[in-house]
Amino acid sequence: MNYNNLKQLDNNLWELPIRGKMKVPGRIYANKKLLQQIYRDNALEQVCNVACLPGIRKYSLAMPDIHWGYGFPIGGVAAMDRESGVISPGGVGYDINCGVRFIRTKLGIEDVKGKLDQMVNAIFREVPTGVGSRNAIDKLSYKEMKKILTGGAKWAIEKGYGIESDLAAIEEGGQLSQADPEKVSSKAMQRGSNQPGTLGSGNHFIEIGIIKDVLDRKVARSFKLKKDQIIIMIHTGSRGLGHQICDDYVHKMLMEIDKLGFDLPDRQLACAKINSKLGEDYYKAMACAANYAWANRQIIMSRVEKEISTFLRVDYADLGFELIYDVCHNIAKFEQHMINGEKEELCVHRKGATRAFGPSRTELASKFRETGQPVIIPGDMGTESYLCVGTDKAMIETFGSSCHGAGRTMSRHQALRSTNIGKVFNELKTKHIYFRAAKNKTLVEEMSDAYKNVSEVVNTMHDSGIVKKVVRTKPLGVVKG
């Protein structure tokens, strides 16, 4: 497709005017360099396809980490009118509530020096990783599965994984109340029953990092973050359960697509009216997977805390694990936003995008009402990551959304052809990053060159006023799936 009509609105914002069946324009946050990378795959065509969906409001949005997905682009945001709009499982993605959490510790570099290799190994042993990883905890019965699907992170805390105060630092308190396990297939239940507490494969990771720069002293102080402090990040989602729910409902919606009276630009954009039975059923099932993912990250955090405490022989108080925040990357949520001066109830799809609510939002826990919601933007395993906060400008421009990571620029297949495991090992060793992966192949697929430069991506969001950078971290040790 030709994008000659792309209109530059400012340094980091571009508009794709309405054409064909688009109902709203597309808007892309990117600097010129990132835009060149975005041009290389089909992501912009997907922005246009999303703009054709019934009930879409204002813009089909693309964050600077946008890349080619299926149906929606990854890094895409679309808000649908609750009455006339549609909900699309493809707009959420297969790994429902894939997300990331950021944890502070009281440790400094001296506490972990010379021990990182063993720490990474200890975490790798404790948290099952890789393809089909399972049995971190006892397989859940059907009855218990229903409890995890409705309880979310709270279920995990009741089982002893973490503490009550963690909930205030999780998007939605770690629990979507609309969850209804009756809307989840037995196949999905089966896939999820033995996977709570597991990392999975691909780009999922556990990272031991260090704060290299404090970029906003006031906000960092309120989060009790300082230079050279050790932090932990955990990135995973709803495992096989979420994939099965997405698969089940894409198929169901596709089979009923004639009812919508609308030509899909791509079958993977299969959708249903939000207020139809099928649309409501999907939302209730999706909420189950979101809750499962929050429980999953909660269990993993607790096990990492236990493992580091045991390994370093420090008690929990001295270790000082404290969840700063947990954000979703793949989700649809009902939120109120101002459009043309009127408050509207919208279903905001974020696929490979992070909620980035500004300080004004009452949904945030009181401790974030001054700062804005923490927004975690991990880079690739060999470079750097950022903790930011959402802004009130994000509420006006992006339905309170930001990018979710660096964004791939190279396929896994290309990555495997472009280098070898020896080179990746050497690169990580040169940077003094300790690593373990279920498969060496994953390390090659996830090499730094396969991703955009995360600083460029984050700076685009920061310079646009969508987020404010708080700290920059560097990886010291990484466990990959």
Partner 1 sequence: MKKWNPLNHTSDYAFRVYGRTVKDLFINSVFALVESIFGNFKISDDQSTSINKAVNIESLDQETLIIDWLRNILELILFDNLIPINIVQLEIYSQNLSAQLKLTKIPVDTSYNIDIKAITYHDVKIVLTEGLYQVDIVCDI
Query: What DSSP element (H or E) covers 329?
Result: none
Considering the rule CB under 8 A, would residue 202 count as an interface residue with partner 1?
yes
Contact code string over 17-56 relative to partner 1, x by CB under 8 A: ------------------------x-x-------------
Which range, of 194-202, 310-318, 342-350, 456-464, touches partner 1 by CB under 8 A? 194-202
Those residues with Cβ within 8 angstroms of residue 362's Cβ, 6 or more apart along the chain or in another chain: none
Cβ-contact 59, 325 below 8 angstroms: no
Give Cα separations from 59 to 5, 50, 80 (angstroms).
16, 9, 10
Q: Where are the beta strands (DSSP E) in 3-160?
A: 7-10, 13-16, 26-29, 60-70, 72-81, 86-87, 99-108
Contact code string over 83-112 relative to partner 1, x by CB under 8 A: -------x---x------------------
Which residue from 225, 8, 217 is spatially nearest to 107, judged by alpha carbons?
225
Contact code string over 66-85 relative to partner 1, x by CB under 8 A: -xxxxx--x-----------
Instruction: Kindly state the smallest distance separating residue 292's Cβ from partner 1, in Å.
Output: 15
Which range, of 223-231, 303-311, 312-320, 404-412, touches partner 1 by CB under 8 A? 404-412
Name the catalytic one among 235, 243, 404, 462. 404
Answer for which of 57, 147, 191, 468 binds partner 1 (CB under 8 A) is 191
Count of residues in the chain: 481
The dihedral of CA 471, 474, 478, 481: what is its sign? positive
Answer for which of 19, 221, 267, 429 binds partner 1 (CB under 8 A) is 267
Which range, of 241-249, 317-325, 376-384, 424-432, touches partner 1 by CB under 8 A? 241-249
Cβ-based nearer residue to partner 1, 81 or 247: 247
Instruction: Kindly state the smallest distance separating residue 15's Cβ from partner 1, in Å.
Output: 23
Which residue from 196, 385, 380 is spatially nearest to 300, judged by alpha carbons?
196
Considering the rule CB under 8 A, would residue 218 count as an interface residue with partner 1?
no
Contact code string over 123-162 relative to partner 1, x by CB under 8 A: --------xx------------------------------
Instruction: Kindly state the DSSP code that residue 173 receives in the 8-state scheme.
Output: G
Cβ-based nearer residue to partner 1, 159 or 349: 349
Is 404 part of the annotated catalytic residue set? yes
Alpha-carbon distance of 124 to 76, in angstroms, equals: 32
Considering the rule CB under 8 A, would residue 411 count as an interface residue with partner 1?
yes
Q: Where are the beta strands (DSSP E) in 378-481?
A: 385-390, 401-403, 434-437, 467-480
Cβ-based nearer residue to partner 1, 191 or 337: 191
Instruction: Kindly state the DSSP code that residue 89 receives in the 8-state scheme.
Output: G
Those residues with Cβ within 8 angstroms of residue 411's Cβ, 6 or more apart along the chain or in another chain: none
Which residue from 473, 393, 470, 452 is spatially nearest to 74, judged by alpha carbons?
452
Contact code string over 289-328 relative to partner 1, x by CB under 8 A: ----------------------------------------
Helix axes 32-39 and 454-463, enclosed angle (nearest 10): 120
Provide the 10 A C-beta neighbour count for residue 423. Answer: 13
Considering the rule CB under 8 A, would residue 412 count as an interface residue with partner 1?
yes
Place of tokens 């009923």: 256
Which range, of 56-64, 165-173, 248-256, 388-396, touches partner 1 by CB under 8 A? 248-256
Alpha-carbon distance of 15 to 187, in angstroms, equals: 42
Which range, of 151-159, 197-205, 284-292, 295-303, touches partner 1 by CB under 8 A? 197-205
Chain positions contacting partner 1, by CB under 8 A: 41, 43, 67-71, 74, 90, 94, 131-132, 187, 190-191, 200-202, 240, 243-244, 246-247, 250-251, 254-255, 257, 266-268, 270, 408-414
Q: Would you please indicate which residues are annotated as catalytic (active-site) residues? A: 404
